[in-house]
Structure 1
Amino acid sequence: MLRTLQVSALALMLLNSNALAGETIDFWNTPQHGGNSFNRLPPSLDYFQALKGYGATWVRLSYDKWQPQQRDFLLGTADRYTGLMPADLATLKATLDRAQAAGLKVVVTPLSLPGMRWRQNNGDRFDDRLWQDKTYWDQSAQFWTDLARALKDHPAVAAYNLVNEPAPERQARLPEHASPAAMRTWYARHQQTARNLPAFYNQVIRAIRRVDSRTPIMVDAGWYAAADAFAYWPGLLDDTHVLYSVHMYEPYAATSAPNINRPIPYRYPGRVEFAGKQRLWNKARVASYLQVPVQWAEKHRLPVNRLVVGEFGCMRRLPDCRQYLEDVLSVLDETRLHWAFYSFREDTWDGMDYELGTAKVPWAYWEAIERRQPDPVPRRATGVFEPIRARLAARPASSAE
């Protein structure tokens, strides 16, 4: 009986949400703060309610770690897309229902597309086929057409993030964090090839708009969504309902897990290897670096509420992680950009799960992964999580329901 009442309550919430659903671009008119969900198991209602309970308004949801019907979730196989996998789609829709019941908006974010299988699902090999052969552009456009047709009326969906962290530049001799002039020279050479990321996005967006004229589209910058990688884009994309996203882990040498194992780890603030040089990284440099996409937006008359920091974070066990998070979030407070921290209660890698504090996880965490069981480790607000928790709790009243 209790289960019947719970199901009925969920159905009522979804019905009411459908009745109130409006133009979803309006959701992005004021700063929205949330988290990333890159879990191996589809998140439960409790999971979404916990994130909402902190004050989050949205979640960037990736499904590529979930158990697929065939080789690749939803795609069937990234080698040749022929249609959505119905069992996978049902799993995704049920997960969206739970997010909606918790009061969270969702940005649907694939890690793989046809011709671009996510590296961790590909034997740790970078898959560059999408950026070599436009046949995969056509397949990606068809995939997104099918997915948009299936999801366009779901009230939880706040945007389609076309692909996570594309890197068409990686195998085409453009150094990461190259100068803007070098980036523009590179783009001029590759503008007529499959490495033209803005052209790829425009093709996919045109396909989506044939079946869904309303849902906003989120696009990551190139070079793994680097904050300086919009520099070579000649202008905005053709569609007006587009959100432009960057990710913030710089200086990566200091914020990432390998730093723990260095004989002398980099410290933050401090001098850190970046773009081939030792540079002083502190709050001022974080602000300067994150100003790059803002300046690009201003140049092209893009409102700041169409810019997103879709991911940011640092390895939680590093002694400087809390200070880094505080500095990044202080800059985001000032610029009023949308953001989503990486990550919330990840059940396959603990490195940026800030509720775990700074200690190692117990062996039960890894046993659950091996047995494909739910993560058994309890979470709580910790010191390293405090900069995020405080901002989520203090979100602007206009962002709350």
Structure 2
Amino acid sequence: MKLFSLLSLLFALAMGTAVHAAPLALHRGISVQDWLNWSPLDSDGTYRWPPYRSETEWMTLARPLSDWPQSDQFQRIRAMGFDFVRLSVDPGPLLASEGERREQALAVLERAVERVTSAGLKVVFDLHAARQVPAYSIDMIGRGANSPGVAQYRGMVRRVAAMLTRFDAGLVALEPFNEPEYYPCDETDTGDWQRIMAATVADIRAISRDLTIIVTGACGGSITGLVDLDPSFDDPRLYYSFHMYEPHSFTHQLSSATQPFNSSLPWPAAIGSPDEAVAHLKSYMTAAGIGEGEQAANLAAARDPIARYFAENWGFPQLQARINEAVNWAERHRIPTSRLFMGEFGCYGLAADGRSGARDEDRLRYLAAVRLEAEGRDIPWAVWEYSNPHGISLIAPWGAAVPDGGMLYALGLP
């Protein structure tokens, strides 16, 4: 009997080691934001209750329901070749409620996770703070590691973690922070973000040693923020996130009051020239009926940003070097690159009036390059995002809600 008991104990320990030896397996994902982020408000500026949008409200934010095919959206996502959804969730209603109302909010979110996982997809549960209710914005965690806002937020994370333990550990991961804004990320920083992230990992581990955690660096969740992080709290069920929108001058070509036409920069920069970029802008302004005087003013505002973009000469070598910073950080800390996580990347497409965005051929070249750089290093990724009306989505922003076939191809999906 003693021998049997010893063998049983050794088997249990071996099984425990196997179970906890790796994080939730992630490969190719896509973010879904407009469903559970920016939870609707009542006229007095407080959260509508019960909180969060229904699926129908999400799908009809910017188009009639008749534009959508009559099929399950999450089964559709899976059929496209994605294996997980990065589900962006507004933590505001959880922070603003107590007792029974808080349990109601958690129940809504639990049903949402069940909804996605029942379609055969895994879930990265992304607590994605918005600024629509200032008291519960990302700013609440910006006043230092020992501030009341951080304590309140960490309490909310613990409750979410407890809710997620009701699911199989092979189905869900928790990302407690999105793009935290602690700056700078160098030897002069205060160390506050390090303390917040380490303490939050400890909070979650006190609830579950099985739940996969997505760890985030500061400085907007960038590679710079990641490599400033000391992963002394590491365990095998952690991923380390970075977002890739670089160069921002290319991925976010957005019109503004000072630069009304901001579009058509090439990628890589070396295949174009400042004169060609200016010519594209002139053609779009002429098509929009903009007079010569206004055109001249717009071009005057655009010339310096265009010149800077071509001077930086972004292309494949710069992209490789930037991602290598994350890879080298992981290798220094003996973390497999498969536990890095490119949690967001994307690029605005050209608007119908040419005011903003990248032309398709440049956008798709960029997306393919970023994706291939990640996959070549065994880094899982999530593209931004499934559907929105802003021009940075897989589903066409207007008309029939069909996927962008060129984007699927750039992502290596059938």
1:294-325 CA distances to partner (integer Å, 9 max, x unpaired)? 10000111111110000100002221211111
1:350 aligns with 2:390: yes
Distance in 2, Cα, partners of 1:340 & 1:263: 26
Instruction: String of CA shifts for 1:209-263, please: whole Å, max 9, x gaps.
Output: 2221210110122111112222322344344421100011110111114169446
Which of 148, 154, 170 is residue 141 of structure 1 equivalent to? 154
Alignment check: 8 A CA contact 2:174 2:211 kept? yes
CA distance in 2, matches of 1:208, 1:124: 21
- Does the residue aligned with 2:312 lie in a helix, a strand or coil? strand
Does the aligned pair in 1 maintain the 2:32–2:85 contact within 8 Å?
yes
- Hey, what's the Cα distance between the residues in 2 that align with 1:274 and 1:158? 45
- Alignment of structure 1 residues 356-367 onto 2, 5 Å: 356=396, 361=398
Paired residues of 1:205 and 1:239 also in contact (CA < 8 A): no
Structure 1 position 285 matched with structure 2 position 318:
yes
Q: CA RMSD in A?
A: 3.1
- Structure 2 segments unaligned to the other structure (5+ residues): 1-17, 36-52, 57-70, 271-304, 351-357
Where in structure 2 are the equivalents of 1:288-367 lying within 5 Å? 288-317=321-350, 318-319=358-359, 320-346=362-388, 349-356=389-396, 361=398
Alignment of 1:271-282 (within 5 A): 278-282=311-315
- TM-superposed deviation, 1:128: 5.4
Partner residue, 2:251: 255
Q: 1:36 aligns with which of 4, 14, 31?
A: 31
Structure 1 position 267, deviation (Å): 2.4
Conservation of the 8 A alpha-carbon contact between 1:248 and 1:311: yes
* SS of residue in 2 equivalent to 1:73: helix
Separation in structure 2 between the aligned mates of residue 120 and residue 258 of structure 1, nearest angstrom: 21
Q: How does 1:1-400 map to 2 (within 5 A)?
A: 23=19, 26=22, 28=24, 32-40=27-35, 41-43=53-55, 46-64=72-90, 72-76=92-96, 85-112=102-129, 118-122=130-134, 127=139, 129-132=141-144, 133-155=146-168, 157-169=171-183, 174=184, 183-187=185-189, 190-191=190-191, 196-258=192-254, 261-262=260-261, 265-270=264-269, 278-317=311-350, 318-319=358-359, 320-346=362-388, 349-356=389-396, 361=398, 377-388=400-411, 391-393=412-414
Residue type of the alignment partner of 2:250: A
1:311-364: CA deviation from partner (whole Å, max 9, x where unpaired): 100002221211111111121221110001000123xx33211331xxx625xx
What's the counterpart of residue 13 of structure 2? none
Cα offset, 1:199, TM superposition: 1.2
Q: Rate the CA distance shift 1:126–1:108 in 2: closer, same or farther, 3 A.
A: closer
- Consecutive unaligned residues of structure 1, counting only runs of 5 or more, are 1-21, 113-117, 175-182, 363-376, 394-401
CA distance in 2 between partners of 1:97 and 1:126 (Å): 27
TM-score normalized by the length of structure 1? 0.71
1:60-92 CA-to-partner distances (Å, cap 9, x unmatched) read 10122xxx9xxx222226xxx789712221211
Of stretches 119-128 and 230-239 in structure 1, the one that deviates more from structure 2 is 119-128
Structure 1 counterpart SS, 2:209? coil
SS in 2 for 1:245: strand
1:373 corresponds to: none
Q: 1:149 to 1:245 in 2, by over 3 A?
A: same
SS for the counterpart of 1:99 is helix
Q: 1:222 to 1:83 in 2, by over 3 A?
A: farther
Distance 1:351 1:103, change over 3 A: same
Contact 1:165 1:220 (C-alpha < 8 Å) held by counterparts: yes
Q: Matched residues in 2 for 1:102 and 1:335: separation?
A: 29
Q: CA deviation at 1:380?
A: 3.1
Deviations 1:30-64 (A, max 9, x none): x6111011023455881211111111111110122
Distance 2:376 2:110 in 1: 36
User: If the length of structure 2 is used for normalisation, what is the TM-score?
Assistant: 0.69
Deviates more, 1:160-169 or 1:228-237: 228-237
Question: The residue matched to 2:187 in structure 1 has which SS?
Answer: helix
Instruction: For residue 23 of structure 1, report the CA deviation from its aligned partner.
Output: 4.0
Instruction: Name the amino acid aligned to 1:353.
Output: S
Determine if contact 1:24/1:214 at 8 Å carries over to the other structure. yes
Check conservation: 1:222, 1:230, Cα contact below 8 A.
yes
Change (3 A) 1:111 1:82: farther
- Give 1 or 2 for the bigger CA radius of gyration: 2
What is the total number of aligned residue pairs between the two structures? Answer: 318
Amino acid at match of 1:186: T
Contact 2:24 2:212 in 1 (8 A): no
Superimposed CA distance per residue, residues 148-167 of structure 1 (whole angstroms, 9 cap, x where no aligned partner)? 11221213742110111111
